[in-house]
Chain A
Amino acid sequence: MSDASLPATSTISLPAFRFSAAETIKHAVLILGSLIVLLPFYVMLSYSFKSPAEIMQNTGGFFGMQELFRDDYCIKLGRDAADCMVTPVIYNYTTAFEKAPLVRYLFNGVVVTASIFFIQVLVALPCAYALAKLRFWGREAVFGLVLFCLLIPVHAIALPLYIMLAKLGLTNTYAALVIPWTISVFGIFLMRQFFMTVPDDLIDAARMDGMSEFSIIWNVMLPTAIPALLAFAIFSVVAHWNDYFWPRIVVTGDRSLFTPPLGLREFKGDADGDNFGPMMATATIIVAPLIVAFMIAQRRFIEGVTLSGMK
């Protein structure tokens, strides 16, 4: 028995170790690609630990030496030099939270991205349902328009949008940050593609049970669409959480309306030197929620993309 079992195990485990040139190349390319993608994150994280001198002189390894250094800002405010010695990592992160009121910015970010996503779903689901399942005159033309709108870059229409909001007196409000994004043609397109794969029988059955069209959308279609919605949520949340361009355009007055990426500018000095430590600490804090959310939802995300026909 034992004689027979040995070769059996080796034949079973053999394919796992078999050398394949194609697989090796594939993995080499993927590893190289992931290194290129991860390198900026590595630098970001490393800078958020180091002192200004270590950053500029490129010394101190990944974590920096964590030696005390003198905070010039504190000296300039007229405090004693002895009270102004700070540990790089603590300085970087506390400055990120204090100088840029990052908690407030993160709160704004949550309010804005959540409102955008909520209204986008409210609009996109009925539209997608109509485009996928209802027959009406001009349906293909409407769908064509949706596809056409996908081709318009937001920067091309930014100025008219800005002037419109300005005339309504809405610049420097949450509304200005949310309203332009409430209708997502990408969302409509994505959900329509997904609804096309839902069998008509399901809807017919619901109609026979006397459900109204709106009730079908929210009680039948919505639950089936959860994976696709999750995929859309990632696109939408990532895009608006990270958006620098639009908040920058409409929020010029009130600092307390800043979304997280705008917090980065507090550390800019351009030709006169940027404050990289706290800037990178801010960046780390901004991307952390996204990375955590992606890790948790990773499988659902890939399912969603494949399910909705974005193959």
Chain B
Amino acid sequence: MGTGEFGDLPFPRQQTESSMKKTLTAIAMLLAASAAHAQDTITIEFAYPYSHLFDVTYEKILPKFKEQHPNIDVKIRATYESYEDGTNTILREAVAGTLPDVTMQGLNRQAILVEKGIAKSLEPFILKEEDFAKDGYHDAMLTLGTFNDDIYGLPFSVSLPVGYYNMDVMAKAGITSADQLPKTWDEVVEVCGTLREAGVRNPMFWGWNITGNWFLQALMWSQDKATMEGTEIQIASPEGLKALETMKGLFRGCDMQNIEWKAALASFSAGEIGMMFWSTSALGAVERAKGDFELKTNEYPGLVASGPMGLPAGGNAAMLVSSSDDPKVLDASWKWLKFITSGEGAADVARTTGYMPPNKAANEVILADFYTQNPNKDTAVRQLPLLRDWQAYPGDNGLAITQVIYDGIEGIVTGEFEDMGELQEELTEEVQDLLPSN
């Protein structure tokens, strides 16, 4: 019976809160020189993934934004726990009619929101901007959020695959400086052999298990080949076979264990793994967790000595999903969207995370000194010219296709598949069945 007290509690609380607010607003109105000022405040709602990574970024950006736009309030919603969760939440909120104004979505999950008509085109706002290109937005970045020739998403944080090296372990293979680090996957396998002879049991970890088959796409782009062309999966191509063979060579040659990311990070931190290939975005986590050894990041190896010809971009983009018709709200949303993806706002991405701001001006002007002081963060920036799409699989079976390919690659790691030609056929057939046919 006593439990009723709890049930009643929130309501009087809210009442006192709202009456407090009323008094406060009244005071503010009296104090403000013009009464109109208080009424002009526009609130926009905003949601993003990965609290632990980006909370600090927005905490830094918000005061700067507020300074420039004192009459826009950005209300931050509950964060998404992952990119997939972010997409699910937006799809659900679209049904319920409770969409936020601006949302951050995984680069490979933008397409579905555009297809379903939830995301709004940013073209009308871009047309109104005078020096959009001068603000540092350049084509390679903009294509990541372009669908049917319209821009829907502005990339906010971008990551590329890089190599993490424990230089204390690498010294056992006679490698002591960055220019001696392996440049091709064949060299990686060679170093693995030397390290194993020197008694390193677990020389290498390769992030095949990153969401969205990111590393398969990395090997495909390395050969300048898209994984998806229209509605055709390209695993059947010679480049596809080369990608699978390269993986097999790496897994066998380095005797790589089938461990999940958390275990790999733990082993690398403990100094057991010499080379780890993963996203640059994990740099903060690696630095925080690592033991007492020298860490160096270096360019992602390629299939030939000149390095990869392209690499898929990871990360997230800002999208306008506001269901409001009020031009003031839309305009305020655009201002926020633009602020976080350009200038000081974008520079804070690099300052607080392992990601890069996808903005030329921010990287080259504001952050010039920053990268000299943080050489490990500079690796990904040097790779920026290689930036390509993180491709989504079209149709409703996108997630299922990701899983089919994931299972296939896992089979190479565990040794279930030996004949890559056979695997190539099998994967192509299974994936093609799941793709829409036109």
In the assembled complex, A171 has its CB within 8 A of some CB on chain B = yes
- The number of chain A residues touching the other chain, given as a range, is 35 or more
Interface residues of A in 246-280 (CB under 8 A from B): 249, 251-255, 258, 262, 265-275
Residues of A within 8 A of B279 (CB): 271-272
In the complex the two chains form, is A72's CB within 8 Å of B289's CB? no
Interface 9-mer from B52-60, B138-146, B218-226, B403-411? B52-60
Residues of A within 8 A of B98 (CB): 166, 171-172, 252-253
Residues of B within 8 A of A265 (CB): 51, 79, 81
A169 CB to closest chain B CB, in angstroms?
A: 8
In the complex the two chains form, is A266's CB within 8 Å of B79's CB? yes
In the assembled complex, B259 has its CB within 8 A of some CB on chain A = no
Residues of B within 8 A of A267 (CB): 51-52
In the assembled complex, A73 has its CB within 8 A of some CB on chain B = yes
Whose C-beta in chain A lies nearest to the C-beta of B51?
A266
Residues of A within 8 A of B77 (CB): 252-255
CA distance A78 to B7 in the complex (A): 43
Residues A272 and B3 in contact in the complex (CB < 8 Å), given A56-B266, A77-B59, A267-B52: no
CA distance A99 to B53 in the complex (A): 13
In the complex the two chains form, is A266's CB within 8 Å of B52's CB? yes
Residues of A within 8 A of B97 (CB): 166
In this complex, the member of B7, B78, B289, B354 whose beta carbon has the largest number of chain A beta carbons within 10 angstroms is: B78
CA distance A275 to B270 in the complex (A): 17
Residues of B within 8 A of A72 (CB): 284, 287-288
In the assembled complex, A174 has its CB within 8 A of some CB on chain B = yes
Interface 9-mer from B88-96, B168-176, B336-344, B390-398? B88-96
Q: Tally chain B residues at the interface, Cβ within 8 Å.
A: 54
In the complex the two chains form, is B89's CB within 8 Å of A252's CB? yes
Residues of A within 8 A of B29 (CB): none
In the complex the two chains form, is A271's CB within 8 Å of B211's CB? yes
Name the one of B9, B60, B95, B289 contacting A57, with C-beta atoms under 8 angstroms: B289
In the complex the two chains form, is B45's CB within 8 Å of A253's CB? yes
In the assembled complex, B76 has its CB within 8 A of some CB on chain A = yes
In the assembled complex, B310 has its CB within 8 A of some CB on chain A = no
A-B contacts counted at CB < 8 A amount to 133
In the assembled complex, A63 has its CB within 8 A of some CB on chain B = no
Residues of A within 8 A of B308 (CB): none
SS of A interface (majority): helix
B202 CB to closest chain A CB, in angstroms?
A: 15
In the complex the two chains form, is A253's CB within 8 Å of B100's CB? yes
In the complex the two chains form, is B78's CB within 8 Å of A258's CB? yes
Whose C-beta in chain B lies nearest to the C-beta of A264?
B81
In the assembled complex, A221 has its CB within 8 A of some CB on chain B = no
In the assembled complex, B242 has its CB within 8 A of some CB on chain A = no
In the complex the two chains form, is A111's CB within 8 Å of B6's CB? yes
Residues of B within 8 A of A110 (CB): 6
Whose C-beta in chain A lies nearest to the C-beta of B214?
A271
Interface 9-mer from A5-13, A36-44, A114-122, A187-195? A114-122
Name the one of A73, A77, A114, A274 contacting B3, with C-beta atoms under 8 angstroms: A114
Residues A252 and B7 in contact in the complex (CB < 8 Å), given A76-B352, A166-B97, A171-B98: no
Interface residues of B in 244-288 (CB under 8 A from A): 261-262, 265-266, 269-270, 278-279, 281-282, 284-288
Sample of 19 more A-B contacts, CB < 8 Å, known A254-B77, A269-B52: A53-B289, A53-B290, A56-B265, A76-B56, A110-B6, A114-B6, A118-B4, A162-B95, A163-B96, A249-B92, A251-B78, A252-B93, A266-B55, A271-B211, A272-B354, A273-B284, A273-B285, A273-B288, A273-B289
Could you list which residues of chain B lie within 8 angstroms of chain A, going by C-beta atoms? 3-4, 6-7, 9-10, 45, 47, 50-53, 55-56, 59-60, 76-79, 81-82, 89, 92-93, 95-98, 100, 210-211, 261-262, 265-266, 269-270, 278-279, 281-282, 284-291, 351-354
Q: What are some 11 contacts across the A-B interface (CB < 8 A)?
A: A56-B265, A57-B266, A57-B270, A73-B55, A118-B4, A162-B92, A166-B98, A251-B78, A272-B285, A272-B353, A273-B286
